[in-house]
Amino acid sequence: MEYRTLGSSGLQVSVVGLGCNNFGRRVDEAGTRAVVEAAIDQGITLLDTADMYGPKGLSEEFLGKAIQGRRLDVVLATKFAGPMGEGSLHRGASRRYIFEACEASLRRLGTDFIDLYQIHFPDPQTPLEETMRALDDLVRQGKVRYLGCSNFAGWQLVEAQWIARSEKHEGFISAQNQYNLLERRIEAELVPACRAHEVGILPYFPLASGFLTGKYRRGQEAPEGTRLAAGRAAERALTDARFDQLEALEGFAKERGHSLLELAIGWLASKPQVDSVIAGATSPAQVEQNVHAGEWRLTPEELQQIDELQGRRR
């Protein structure tokens, strides 16, 4: 396993992280323990969850129990801002709610500090100055070690970093956004902003909700129980244009002795601004596959070939 420093910090994270959004929903407590133990044994250190994952914070609760006795072996990351109850007081990024959310996450996780505390979504109802000041206070209190953001646009990240620098607050060391071979919009603004402000990128949905595993095939019914089996997500994803890209990428990988999954994760791990790829897993076998996929490093020439294959110009 390769380890990288996250952003401008000294925090070391595994190049493949574990996404915990399935815990408490698709994976029960025993299954969570099995996946987490497999991840740690494989060298994964970054475990990423959120208070809103699983009903009533079950992902945090199951994860906290799974790391008992191994808390100092992992980098524990969670998020706040999503709805955790009815009404406007139980969501967002106000000072009042941030303190409430942090205490609740600490209780569910069974720990006295969070390594990486991330705002899950921008909150247009709260001044960003208020949010950054409250997060800085959590760091000074020792309840949080580092700060990150998720789903921020490039300009929002820049504004947050400017506030932190001008007010001498702790700034963000990471930005977690959707990023994969089929979803590259963050390359236009967020990636350059992260590069300029020394913020590491933590891609989520690296497999495009499973589309980049190869389990979906043109002209065939989606496997029952999968994320793209039905609904609007399936209508957007299972198109001829997407299958054209899928088949071209799969051919590229096979020519080099790799699977499509290995290309999806290896391509992200080969990007200089990416510090850890957040890959979900529902079984120890999937953990092992993700870790193995994170070992492939594409050459600059191969990265350029991917761009050309997708009709992109550098």
| Residues belonging to the active site | 53
- Is-contact 63 49, C-beta < 8 A? yes
CB environment 59-74: b (16+ within 10 A), e (fewer): bbbbbbebbeeeeeeb
Amino acid at residue number 97:
Y
Tokens, residue 138: 């959590």
**What is the end-to-end Cα distance of the chain in Å, rounded?**
30
C-alpha 286/C-alpha 298 separation (Å) is: 22
Region class of 141: left (phi > 0), else alpha (psi between -120 and 50), else beta: alpha
C-alpha 203/C-alpha 169 separation (Å) is: 25
């809103």: which residue's tokens?
A: 52
C-alpha 36/C-alpha 45 separation (Å) is: 10
- Is-contact 18 281, C-beta < 8 A? yes
Three-state secondary structure call for residue 51: coil
C-alpha 119/C-alpha 176 separation (Å) is: 10
Nearest to 40 by CA among 80, 5, 82, 1: 1
- Indicate the angle between helix axes 260-269 and 240-255, nearest 10 degrees: 80
Nearest to 69 by CA among 37, 104, 113, 105: 37
Partners of 46 in the beta sheet?
A: 75
